[in-house]
Amino acid sequence: MATFKNIPGSGYGNPYVDSLIWGGNMWDQSQQPILISLAGENDYDEAVQVHGEINYLHSSAARGVWYPETRALMIDVLGLFTSVANIRLDEAPTVSDANIALWWYPLEFGVSGWHESPDTIHPTEQQSHQRWGIFNSFFSDAWKEKQFGGAGRATMIQELAIGFGLAHPYDGGTRSDATKFPGVNGADDLGAYGFNQSVYTVLSSNNGLSTTPDGGLKWGNQGGLGAFDIAALQTLYGANMSTATGNDTYTLPTRNDRGTGWMSIWDAGGTDTISAAGSTAGVTIDLHAATLAPNDPGAGGYISQQKGIAGGFTIANGVVIENAVGSAFDDILIGNAAANTLNGGAGNDTYYVDSPNDVVIDASGVDTVYATFAFSNPAIENVFVNGVKVVSGGAPVEGGVRVLRGTGGRDVLTGTEANEKISGGAGKDVLTGGVGKDIFVFDTRPNKKTNLDTITDYSVADDSIWLDNAVFKKLGKGSESKPQALNRKFFAFDKAKDGNDYLVYVKKTGVLYYDADGSGSGKAVEIAKLPKKLAGFSAGEFFVI
């Protein structure tokens, strides 16, 4: 059987882990595993010789029976702990050999379960190697809900967490070095970022997630462990790196009913996916793992769920989930630092990507990508790179020409191999035509400080510049439906020389000017920056609309 070792209740370098580790006596598995006994109606007299008597359990009533369903639930929940941490468990040959004796018993006070910490010492125990967990058979309504997300399962998980050395986030245990979660002054306080909720730690008394419907005993409770629980258990016992090493798919729940609840994903390897393929409304899938970082809203994990559903996932610290599959509705898919494949499916989807190796798949809807790198995908209608709108795909087609229009801000508009009409509008825009015969349209009043565009790849052989005569009044007549070639007399190189040199291209700098008086006597206005020393550049590049 396991013995005890003494550990601190804080000082682990993380306020959440500090709070959840009880400290004091702790199971020592260096020689033997922790032995478990599901104690029965005839075990009390033998067990009390080892453990000693307590007020909650009496020989006259110690007749609880672990029926097959309840026994199966307990075994499943014990397996939950061993799946995330290197907790070694074995069945005790007799109840007196057990480190943990678990009882099914009608407690007389209003709790559904109670468990001693490894650090619990009663006067009659005399440093016994045994700790007891008692589950209240009077709470029949709760124990009917043994399914994932049900109150019976959540109770077992919480009480066993105490038995394995964890503490509540609102008290930190009973040792002098006990701490609480930041911002938590009592059991009901949600604390900083709402982390005192069971979606983040099963040790919380605030069930589920406060922003979702309350399923009571039936659904919406923690069905696994929270990211903080996993971190604390792994601090005590080490991480189990053999769990879920294949290519696994985690499917979001789709209804508020039995079987729906929360869990933090512990997955040690493979190429994995969170999927909403069967969801009945839009979802948010966030592939970021819990950071555990103090003062960070992502410390306890990021929620992935269908809108309005009281269940879903966070991802434990150290876990990498690579892929996300959205629903047929409007989704938000958020990538992580890995090479992600994000498939939004139908609907108007929003993507957040931060790796050049990310792949966005979206065949329908009006979709938006927010990227931290140069992102291009013809299927995406709206692209923002570091907050700047980039038009690189999904543009409308007018008269056989793709039309890229700016937003009135600082835009980056990038063409493809097709023929494009690119109009930056107001703002200091960066325009790239790419391969093809491209048209660059200038139809707003230029300003050196606020409205000066750059054309990065102007091709004399293929491209042209259209100028709106509502802005450039001296250039003559024309319209967008019938653009007119610029009068050759209206163009000059380097500086205006006579009374009608309205457009001036300075070869050395590549700057294109509009000179309203045509003579250079007044101040010319910069229209755009083009490549320097363009060979063959002439009045033939310009059309008036």
What is the rounded CA–CA span in Å between residue 253 and residue 266? 18
Dump the DSSP string for 2-59: -EEEEE-SS-SS-HHHHHHB--EEEEE-SSSPEEEEE--TT-HHHHHHHH--BTTB-T
- Is 190 inside a domain boundary? no
Q: List Cβ neighbours of 417 (8 Å cut-off, separation of 6 or more).
A: 434, 435, 436
Segment 432-477, tens digit of pLDDT = 998 889 999 999 999 999 999 999 999 999 999 999 999 999 999 9
pLDDT of residue 521: 84
455 and 534 in a common domain: yes
Q: Measured in whole angstroms, how far is the alpha carbon of residue 237 from the centre of its chain?
A: 27
Contact in structure between 353 and 375 (CB atoms under 8 Å): yes
Question: Domain boundary at 164, 181, 198, which?
Answer: 181
353 and 484 in a common domain: no
Q: What is the dihedral of CA 531, 533, 536, 539, to 10 degrees?
A: 70
- Is 195 inside a domain boundary? no
CATH number at residue 34: 3.40.390
- Is 197 inside a domain boundary? no
Measured from the Cβ of residue 518, the count of other Cβ atoms closer than 10 Å reads 22
Measured from the Cβ of residue 313, the count of other Cβ atoms closer than 10 Å reads 24
- Which residue from 22, 14, 6 is spatially nearest to 178, judged by alpha carbons? 22
- Is 261 inside a domain boundary? yes
pLDDT of residue 405: 84
- Is 481 inside a domain boundary? yes
Question: Domain boundary at 386, 421, 436, which?
Answer: 386
Contact in structure between 473 and 490 (CB atoms under 8 Å): no
Q: 129 or 59: which carries more pLDDT confidence? A: 129
What is the rounded CA–CA span in Å between residue 247 and residue 268? 10
168 and 106 in a common domain: yes
Contact in structure between 230 and 266 (CB atoms under 8 Å): yes
Q: 385 or 47: which carries more pLDDT confidence? A: 47
Per-residue HEC secondary structure of 95-144 comes to: HHHCCEEEEEECCCCCCCEEECCCCCCCCCCCCCCCEEEEEECCCHHHHC
Starting at the earlier edge strand, list the strands of the sheet with 249-251.
Answer: 249-251, 273-275, 323-325, 341-343, 359-361
pLDDT of residue 456: 96
pLDDT of residue 502: 96
Domain that holds residue 152: 3-181
How does residue 124 score in pLDDT terms, banded at 50, 70 and 90?
Answer: low
How does residue 142 score in pLDDT terms, banded at 50, 70 and 90?
Answer: confident
pLDDT of residue 407: 75
161 and 106 in a common domain: yes
The least confident of 181-185, 297-301, 416-420, 479-483 is 416-420
Contact in structure between 310 and 220 (CB atoms under 8 Å): yes
What is the rounded CA–CA span in Å between residue 198 and residue 170? 12
Q: What is the dihedral of CA 190, 196, 200, 201, to 10 degrees?
A: -160
473 and 420 in a common domain: yes
- Which residue from 357, 317, 318 is spatially nearest to 335, judged by alpha carbons? 357
CATH number at residue 314: 2.150.10.10
- Is 440 inside a domain boundary? yes
Stated pTM of the model: 0.80
Helix 68-84 crosses helix 151-163 at what angle (to 10 degrees)?
Answer: 50
- Is 365 inside a domain boundary? yes
H or E element, residue 389: strand 388-391
Average pLDDT score over the chain: 92
382 and 291 in a common domain: yes
The pair phi, psi for residue 70, each rounded to 5°, is: -70, -40
475 and 429 in a common domain: yes
405 and 320 in a common domain: no
Per-residue HEC secondary structure of 399-412 comes to: CCEEEEECCCCCCE
506 and 358 in a common domain: no
- Is 393 inside a domain boundary? no
pLDDT of residue 122: 65
377 and 441 in a common domain: no
517 and 375 in a common domain: no
- Which residue from 356, 355, 385 is spatially nearest to 369, judged by alpha carbons? 385
Q: What is the largest CA-CA distance in the chain?
A: 114
Q: What is the dihedral of CA 451, 457, 461, 462, to 10 degrees?
A: -70
Q: List Cβ neighbours of 115 (8 Å cut-off, separation of 6 or more).
A: 131, 132, 133, 134, 159, 160, 162, 163
What is the rounded CA–CA span in Å between residue 120 and residue 127? 9
Segment 59-110, tens digit of pLDDT = 555 557 898 999 999 999 999 999 999 999 999 999 999 999 999 888 766 6
pLDDT of residue 225: 99
250 and 114 in a common domain: no
Count: domains in the chain: 3
pLDDT of residue 505: 97
Question: Domain boundary at 386, 409, 429, which?
Answer: 386
Whether the predicted pLDDT of 234 surpasses 60: yes
Segment 361-398, tens digit of pLDDT = 987 899 999 998 878 787 888 888 877 777 655 556 67
